[in-house]
Amino acid sequence: MKRKIIVTGGAGFIGSHLVDKLIAGGNEVTVIDNLSSGKMEFIEHHDQDPNFKLVKLDMLELEKLKQAIKGADMVYHLAANPDVRLGAENTKVHLEQNIMVTYNLLESMRMNKQQNIVFTSTSTVYGEASIIPTPENYGPLIPISLYGASKLACEALITSYCHTFEMRSWIFRFANIVGERGTHGIIIDFINKLKTNPKALEILGDGQQRKSYIHVSDCIEGILFAVNNSDEMANIFNIGSTDTINSTQIGELIVKEMGLHDVKFTYTGGNRGWKGDVPKMLLSIDKLQKLGWNPSHNSKSSVIAATRSTLEKQ
């Protein structure tokens, strides 16, 4: 069935892959993006498609946002500032770009009587979880980054709007998503550092931070599968791979993929990369698996695929 769909943040890394998939499925897609970190080159291949439209808009502008989303059956809300590290330097950015933007979207939907929202949340809402793999019903949720706090606040706003105004939501808590068009994160950092100096790689922390990585193609499949197969008022799912890889191992894989030898690894020390970094993260994806979805990549193959596509584009 052809649907009218809004993708906020659709010019970004994950959003643009979602747009590709939704357009390929014959849907009518409007991207709302202020191009702060999103890029035209990620979406311009749809320019001539009558099912595609870009509205360049800062979602802090409530009235314009309300007009822009009118008539859509479904809103995929990905627009955010996703930089976890930034919160330690700038305490306002996640409040504005994540919480206020989400509030504006919910208000616009409420006023337009639009009901269906998909939200991209994060593993960082769990903080330093004592149960690993961490299931969706883990608690209490004690984020340790301002980014994690902002995403948890967004989740709470969304579920309470759903209850109060008869809306429905799908909330996805992602592990680390990697792949083509990635613009930030450990893979990009390591590749850039090694291009500058192919003899040495500085790794943040002690290199033992161990996390789950999942390829963006799996992430998109998982989202669409869950949206099509669940219909509670608030459907909350983790999306990740079923294993982990540590920072040193990622460094070794990237060195190999770049064809480098005798690279000296140095460590900045401590058990985390930065203030707010969660050193160990693995999400339980039992809930999605029981529904019938499985990722096709593990952490290692996700990192390798992402490294190759990044190197090809450079």
Residue 31, Cβ density class (10 Å: 0-12 exposed, 13-18 middle, ≥19 buried): buried
Q: How far is the CB of 228 from ligand NAD (least distance, A)?
A: 20
CB closer to ligand NAD, 54 vs 201: 54
Closer to ligand NAD by CB, 35 or 291: give it. 35
State the residues that interact with ligand NAD by CB under 6 A: 9, 11-15, 32-38, 58-60, 78-80, 82, 97, 101, 120, 122, 174, 176-177, 183
Could you give the residue ranges of the DSSP H alpha helices within the chain?
13-24, 62-69, 93-94, 101-112, 146-165, 186-196, 216-229, 247-257, 286-291, 299-313
Three-class SS of residue 155?
Answer: helix
Cis peptide before 82 (omega within 30 of 0): no
CB-wise, 86 or 263, nearer to ligand NAD?
86
| Closer Cβ to ligand NAD, 61 or 166, answer by number | 61
> In what side-by-side order are the strands of the sheet with 234-239?
52-56, 28-33, 4-8, 74-77, 116-122, 168-174, 234-239
- Give the integer Cα–Cα distance in Å for 93 and 81: 7
- For ligand NAD, the closer of residues 70 and 199 by Cβ is 70
Closest contact distance (angstroms) between CB of 151 and ligand NAD is: 7
112, 66 Cβ separation under 8 angstroms: yes
CB of 85 to ligand NAD, least distance (A): 13
For residue 1, count CB atoms less than 10 angstroms from its CB and return exposed for 0-12, middle for 13-18, buried for 19 or more: exposed
Distance CA 142, CA 152 (A): 9
Work out how close the CB of 177 gets to ligand NAD at its nearest, in angstroms, rounded to a whole number. 4
What's the min distance (Å) between Cβ of 78 and ligand NAD?
A: 4
12 or 133: CB nearest ligand NAD = 12
Least Å from the CB of residue 64 to ligand NAD: 10
